[in-house]
Amino acid sequence: MDISRQSIMQLQCTKPDKVKVLKEEINVFSWKDLLYYFPYRYTDRSKIHKISEIDGRSMPFIQLKGKIFRYEYLGEGKSRRLSAVFDDGTGVIELIWFRSLTWITKMYKLGREYILFGKPSTFRLSTPSGSSLERISIIHPELEEENKFYEGVIGIQGEYSTTEKMKKVSLHSRTIKQMIIEILENIKEPLSETLSREIINEYKLISLDEAIRNIHFPKSNDLLQEAQYRLKFEELFYLQLSILSAAKHREKHIDGFRFKEIGENFYFLKNNLPFELTTAQKRVVNEIWKNMNTGKQMNRLLQGDVGSGKTLIALLSILLATDNGFQGAIMVPTEVLAIQHYETISRMLNGSAIKVSLLTGSTKNKLREEMLPKVKSGEIQILIGTHALIEDSVEFNNLGLVVVDEQHRFGVTQRAKLWNKNSNPPHVLVMTATPIPRTLAMTIYGDLDVSIIDELPPGRKPVDTYHRYDEKRDKIYEYVRKEIQKGKQVYIVYPLIEENEKIDLTNLQDGFQAVSKVFPEYNICMVHGQMKPEEKKQEMQKFLSGEAQIMVATTVIEVGIDVRNASVMIIKNAERFGLSQLHQLRGRVGRSTEQAVCILMTNHELSEDARKRITIMTNFNNGFIIAEEDLKLRGPGSLNGIKQSGFDSNLKIARLSQDGDILDYTRNLARRILDDDPNLEKPQNILLKQHLNKWNIENKAEWLSIS
Ligand code: ADP
Ligand code: MG
């Protein structure tokens, strides 16, 4: 039976409305789709806990057996809630609901025995006498009647994530489980294998059939782990096979543009620089030039710490393209950065014949209409911009090189589109300040070469970094005033984290007011993400020109901003930032030979992790070390950009950010197989070829086009 051809419509427990929603929401249509819709978490329901043993601070989800013996409504308006007392004979615990209050009281009868499932949390209550009291409660517990419960709901239970729309048509985790049971009951034969016998034996994997059954209904913890391993292995193996075979194909069939000449514009820039290139910069420019002169398409990652001078490398590389009659483009993640690059680069090329333009989402229609034909004709040689560059309406005459700065903010599909701007793909240079492991880089960016700038321009002093509590505010402002009197500029950064956008924005605006009051004698500008682009540009300009001495901003200034005269950075609520973010932010100062200072401000209540992050920042300046520390602190999930890159969300079970080992194994395996049999024609590889083709079709839009 081909499970990818069996529709879930045929299942008894599905109705047409559900089928439609499954397709729309989670792209599930066939039996196979659903069998590959894996639980997002598991809970061990084999143990019943006692209330007397509960430790409210460290317990994960637990299971209790007992009775509810009182309901009580508490609070008013938004904080109105239902509270109940749950008793298991060893003690009592409070249950709390904030939603469906009446329904709950009808549904769960007093005095009846229930199995309860939930996560205990602790509240500290202050008593009138001033001492404090701890109360343990469970918010929104799941309750099941004992009888019902024991039918198959014991042991390790998988839970499936569902969206709001799914819940509306009663598609809950439980419903999905039901459908999977029905599918598995209907499949009489073991599921047919997707990996060859050789691979299964060599890596000691369990069969697909066993893996699928155990991923949904684990017979034991060990089997669950083996199932997860096997399915991650399969997924990453086909991913690697796909990327590598596409890379092989490209190498063989696609010619890269050849940039033979080093021409006048390159020399114009190089000879007019107010400084010498560092040895590392020279080496990297050479690597890039050699690469673009081989006849192979370049796909290169440039890593260099903040402030190491990557922009200049980008520009020199692009001039190699223009000197050979091609166009170049620079794509950056934010409008603020695009504007800045545009201005810096225009200034550097002032006096040359090169035409540069800026294109962002907020470029006025009239301007766009004038600009786009010139991009198409080749009159505009360098185009700098944001996502707007990859819109279909932007056509180039002969795009020779694309530089992607601070790449990690770009999604997969966006990158794919850029690749397709020419019949022959342009050379690609990706620049990042965040070091990432090699295999991971290769997976995310396709097969690529790596250049590293391991040197900062001469005379740079490490930024002096301090941690200060909020009550030292006045002293800090005093210091700021002194620095401004010396002619320096200052950043004051506020957190803006999506979940709290509104509150944060208010904080920022309040902060702006407060700072304005403290420094009535100075000009203060403000930049944040929700501003109108025109306004953003004006405010940026005030700081760039030196008209404003202080910039109050959110993390929009995190990437790339380069104002050399700014030498002080104050970061408010520093505990709310991640390490790499703090490092990027701090990289905005210390861009000249002047001593720069960064002050991390927090209140006294710091979590242990936050305290560690701050200590790391005050102790280290080197981005590679900070990235390593970050890894230790948070695990590889912290690798900046993997989440944003959208790769993990295209995977069903593996996580690039966590499964580095499997990623390495599968990469080596795929490479070994393809080196031996590039077209997968040998008998032992026939199965792999079939599945690769299927995999490519299923994943085409997401992965293939980028590698
Ligand atoms: P990043 O690698 O963080 O993108 P930038 O390209 O913004 O760094 O460069 C940081 C600053 O260093 C800029 O002001 C730039 O002009 C300056 N810079 C770049 N290369 C050199 C050099 N070789 N010597 C002195 N200053 C340099
Ligand atoms: Mg930069």
pLDDT digits (tens, 9 = 90+) for 546-594: 999 999 988 766 666 778 899 999 999 999 888 888 888 898 898 888 8
Quote the pTM value: 0.66
DSSP β-bridge partners for residue 571: 493, 600
- Is the pLDDT assigned to residue 657 strictly greater than 90? no
Cβ of 562 less than 6 Å from ligand 1: yes
Distance 412 CA to ligand 1 centre (A): 28
What the block records as the tokens of 25 is 């929401």
Is residue 420 scored above 80 in pLDDT? no
CATH assignment, 464-620: 3.40.50.300
Residue 530 has pLDDT above 60, yes or no: yes
Q: Which ligand is nearest to the CA of 306?
A: 1
Pairwise CA distance, residues 239 & 74, whole Å: 53
Rg over alpha carbons for the chain, rounded to the nearest Å, is 29
AA identity, residue 220: S
In this structure, the residue with its CA closest to atom 19 of ligand 1 is 309
Q: Is the pLDDT confidence value at 305 over 50?
A: yes
Encoding tokens for residue 13? 């427990």
Q: Which ligand 1 atom is at minimum distance from the Cα of 344? A: 16
Ligand 1 centroid distance, CA of 302 (Å): 14
Ligand that comes closest to the CA of residue 313:
1
Direct distance between the N- and C-terminal alpha carbons of the chain, in angstroms, rounded to an integer: 33
Does ligand 1 come within 6 angstroms of the Cβ of 564?
A: yes
- Atom 18 of ligand 1: nearest residue by CA position: 309
Distance (angstroms) between ligand 2 centre and the Cα of 404 equals 10
Question: Closest-lying ligand to the alpha carbon of 588?
Answer: 1
- Ligand 1 atom 22, closest CA: 457
| Strand ranges for 88-216 from DSSP E | 92-97, 113-118, 120-126, 132-139, 142-145, 156-159
Closest CA to 584 of 276, 344, 333: 333
* Residue of minimum CA distance from atom 4 in ligand 1: 310
Decide whether any atom of ligand 1 lies within 6 Å of the 139 Cβ: no
In the chain, domain spans = 1-45+154-189, 47-149, 192-253+659-707, 264-453, 464-620
Report the distance separating Cα 101 and Cα 73, nearest Å: 9
- Residue 150, pLDDT > 50, answer no
SS (H, E, C) 81-115: EEEEEEECCCCEEEEEECCCHHHHHHHCCCCCEEE
- Cβ–ligand 1 distance for 304 under 6 Å, the answer yes
Poorest-pLDDT segment among 320-334, 502-516, 633-647: 633-647
Per the model's pLDDT, the better-predicted residue between 268 and 438 turns out to be 268
* pLDDT top residue among 137 and 382: 382
Residue type at position 435:
P
Residue nearest to atom 24 of ligand 1 (CA): 457
- Please tell me the predicted confidence (pLDDT) of residue 576: 87
Query: What pLDDT band is residue 36 in, cutting at 50, 70 and 90?
Result: very high
Residue range 264-453 in CATH 3.40.50.300: yes
- Ligand positioned closest to the Cα atom of 455: 1
47-149 and 464-620, same CATH topology: no
Q: Which atom of ligand 1 is nearest to the CA of 277?
A: 23
Rounded to an integer, what distance in angstroms lies between the CA atom of residue 172 and that of residue 161? 8
Opening angle at CA 94, ends 91 and 97, nearest 5:
155
Strands 399-405 and 449-453: unpaired
Q: How far is the CA of 123 from the centre of ligand 1 (A)?
A: 51
Helix (H, G, I), strand (E, B) or coil at 254: coil
What would the mean pLDDT of 256-271 be, rounded to a whole number?
92
Any ligand 1 atom below 6 A from CB of 308: yes
Q: Is the CB of 328 under 6 A from ligand 1?
A: no
Pick the CATH number of 47-149 from 3.40.640.10, 2.40.50.140, 3.30.70.3000, 2.30.110.10: 2.40.50.140
Cβ of residue 260 lying under 6 Å from some atom of ligand 1: no
Residue 538 has pLDDT above 70, yes or no: yes
Q: Is the Cβ atom of 312 under 6 angstroms away from ligand 1?
A: yes
> Which one of 404, 591, 592, 622 would you pick to mutate in the ligand 1 pocket, going by the greatest count of ligand atoms within 8 A of its CB?
591
Q: For residue 261, give the amino acid letter.
A: E
How far, in Å, from the CA of 289 to the mean position of ligand 2? 20
How many angstroms is it from 71 CA to the middle of ligand 2? 59
CA 695/CA 686 separation, integer angstroms = 14
| Confidence tier at 504 by pLDDT (50, 70, 90) | confident
User: pLDDT digit string (tens) for 161-200?
Assistant: 988 888 888 888 888 998 999 999 999 889 999 999 999 9
Residue 457 Cβ inside 6 Å of ligand 1? The answer reads: yes
Residues 6+ apart with CB under 8 A from 281: 309, 312, 313, 453, 455
| Ligand 1 site, residue 306, Cβ cutoff 6 A | yes
pLDDT at site 169: 87
If you average pLDDT over residues 329-348, what whole number do you get?
A: 88
Cβ neighbors of 106 (< 8 A, separation 6 or more) are none
Name which residue sits closest to atom 9 of ligand 1, judged by CA: 309
Alpha carbon distance 619, 228 (integer Å):
39
